[in-house]
Amino acid sequence: MEQSAPNKPPKLLVGELTPEAAHDWDNACSMYFMHKGSFTAYMIALKSTWLETHWATKLHKKVLGSQQGSCPFYEWALQLQNQNVLLYGNTAHLTDAQLHNQLKANICDELTTSVLRARLTDNLTLKEWIEEVKHLNDKWLKDLTSHKKIMEELYKALRCTTSSNHTKNPSSSKPYNSSSCLGSLTETECTLLMDHKGCFKCQKFYITHQSKECTDGAPDASSYKMLMEADTLAAKSKNKKQTKLVATVAPIVAVMPSSILDEGSDSEDDMCIAPFETAHLFLALSLDGPLL
C-alpha cells in the first residue's frame, strides 16, 4: 500500500494481501475520508450518478435465477458470491443465510443426492458449507470420469469382434478404425460376397473355398477398406486370366516300319513303336504297297 499524503487517495499495490497490508489499507482509507468526507456518501453518489437505473434489481434477479447446471459447484458458488457482493449496502443484498439457501436450492440433482447422504450439520458457516460441498462435488466428478472411461472401454470391447463372427450379423454397420479387430460386414459387402463367389473370412472374390475352410485369415484391420463393386470386377478379371483353358495333351502311338517291308513279310521284329506326346500332330505320309 502506498499513500503520498493523508488527504491523497491510497493505492493498494499488486502482491499478496497480508493482515498487515489489510490493516494499513484500512487506516489509510479512514484517514483519507476524514479529510474528504464520508466514504459511504461518496459511493452512494458514485452509483447514483454512473450506474444504470434499477441496476440493483436486475442484478438481484440474476442472483436469484442462477443455477449450477453443468458448472463445477465451487466455480458457480464463487460467481454467485461475487455478484452478491456488488449488492452490498443495498436492500437487494442477500445475507449469508439467504445465500446458503439459494445455493442449496439450485445445485444440480446429482450433487443434491450426495449432500443429503453426507448429512452436513446445520451449524456450518456459509464458507464451511461451501467447502464441504466442494469436496463432495469433486468426488462425484472423479467417479463420473472413472465410470465414463469404463463405459468407453466396454463399448470398444463390444464393437471389437473376431473375424469368425462376421457372418452372424451381416446387416450391422462396420466401424473402421485402427484397432486390431474388424467390425461386422455391412449388408452391401455381404451381398457382394454372395453374388461373386466370395469368402466371408478372407473377404476375397471368386475363390473356391468356403469360410470354414479358409486358411488365408481375416484382412488387416489397420489397412482395411470397405468392399466395393470395383473390387469384384478386378477379382473377376484376374480370375479369368488364371483359368484360361490349356490345350489338352494326349499320348498317341505311331507304328512305323524300321525298313521297307517286303511283300508277305509279317515280322514283328521289323516294327518299332515310338511313343510321343503332343497337343496336335500333323504327319505328311506317302503310303504304298500291295494292299493299298
The overall pTM is greater than 0.85:
no
pLDDT (tens digit, 9 = 90+) per residue, 171-185? 444 444 444 566 678
Higher-confidence position of 260 and 157? 157
What is the distance of C-alpha 146 from the center of its chain? Answer: 17
The alpha helices in 169-228, defined as continuous H runs, are 187-195
Query: So where are the chain's domains?
Result: 1-50, 57-150, 165-242
Q: What is the number of alpha carbons within 13 Å of residue 133 lying toward its C-beta? A: 29
Helix (H) or strand (E) run with residue 98 in it: helix 96-106
pLDDT at 237: 82
pLDDT at 102: 95
pLDDT (tens digit, 9 = 90+) per residue, 268-277? 455 444 454 5
Taking residue 140's Cβ as centre, other Cβ atoms within 10 Å add up to: 16
| 8 Å CB contact between 194 and 220 | no
Residue 225 φ/ψ, nearest 5 degrees: -125, 145
**CA-wise closest residue to 186 among 221, 158, 219, 228:** 228
Rounded-to-integer distance, Cα 106 and Cα 64, Å: 9
Q: For residue 234, what pLDDT band results from cuts at 50, 70 and 90? A: confident
Reading the block at residue 241, the C-alpha cell is: 486370366
